[in-house]
Amino acid sequence: MMRTVLAVLSPGQGSQTPGMLRPWLDDPALDTLVGEMSEAARLDLRTLGTTADAATITDTAVAQPLIVAASLVSFAALGVTPDVAAGHSVGELAALAVAGVVTPADAVALAGVRGRAMAEAASAVETGMSAVVGGSRDEVLDAVSRAGAVVANVNSGGQVVAAGTPAQLAELAAAPPSRARVIPLAVAGAFHTSYMARAVDAVREAAAALEPHDPTATLLSNRDGAVVETGRDALDRIVSQITSPVRWDLCSERIAALGVGGLVELCPGGVLTGLAKRELRGIPACAITSPDDLDAARAIAKGLTA
């Protein structure tokens, strides 16, 4: 019996929800892991992931390490060996740990540095992001350009995220592409654009201090969907993606080309599984939001035989 390909996906910022760590901490081993990651991140992830309110965990400096921690707690509980690992935006740090490039503690520590640096960059100039849902790709890109904004994410054929100043995003909303909606996003700034340039040095310095291993699974870069061959390249891409658009559409194309037969999205799952249902139709997928989802995720992994 030949095993087909399992992909484990890690979500990005915006997927966090209050209390998302609470159901995992009944397991002493997972509670210990959260303690280790809290120390690495210099944050009380237990409190932030159990009792903090939505406003507190929306803060970029908190959200990024907390999301990576939640993903890695659920991966530890899942207990499967993936063939492919990929993550959206900060989720790529969790994917590096899933693929064995860095330890969970190192991934969360780097997410903490990234989150603090990006929060500081976002505070320097008022910027934001808006999702453009629907419309033709060419018309969407033209509308974003005419408004003076830039593309920060291409998530799928029907979803692009624009970034820019409030005036630029207002202009885009006032003259949307045909058959498309412009939806403002609750984020602190124009992530994955040149507005984040001042965050690069801090993340580069933190990444350079790590001693990465080469990936033990096929690791995809969300910058271009490429397969990342070495641990050092994986960390270099974490640095460069701060000012580069996320091309999740290219990751989806690569996942299809690799013959993936099942998808599991780590906690706090849902966004990437939703995209997969439209872009990777027919591939079984499971989003993990709590330990109650583990059996369904393991069933997908167990069923990947041909």
Q: First and final CA of the chain: distance in angstroms?
A: 6
> Cα torsion at 270, 274, 275, 276 (round to 10°)?
100
How many angstroms separate the CA atoms of 115 and 194, rounded?
16
Which residue from 223, 203, 233 is spatially nearest to 109, judged by alpha carbons?
203
SS3 content of the chain, % helix, strand, coil (to 5): 50, 15, 35
Active-site annotation holder among 192, 221, 244, 252: 192
- Joined together, the tokens standing for residue 200 give 């690069």
Are residues 66 and 49 in contact, defined by beta-carbon separation less than 8 angstroms? yes
Are residues 179 and 135 in contact, defined by beta-carbon separation less than 8 angstroms? yes
Q: Clarify whether 88 is annotated catalytic.
A: no
DSSP collapsed to 3 states, 204-254: HHHHHCCCCCCCCCEEECCCCCCEECCHHHHHHHHHHHHHCCECHHHHHHH
Active-site annotation holder among 10, 38, 74, 89: 89
Are residues 34 and 46 in contact, defined by beta-carbon separation less than 8 angstroms? yes
Are residues 78 and 302 in contact, defined by beta-carbon separation less than 8 angstroms? no
Task: Give the residue numbers marked as catalytic.
Answer: 89, 192
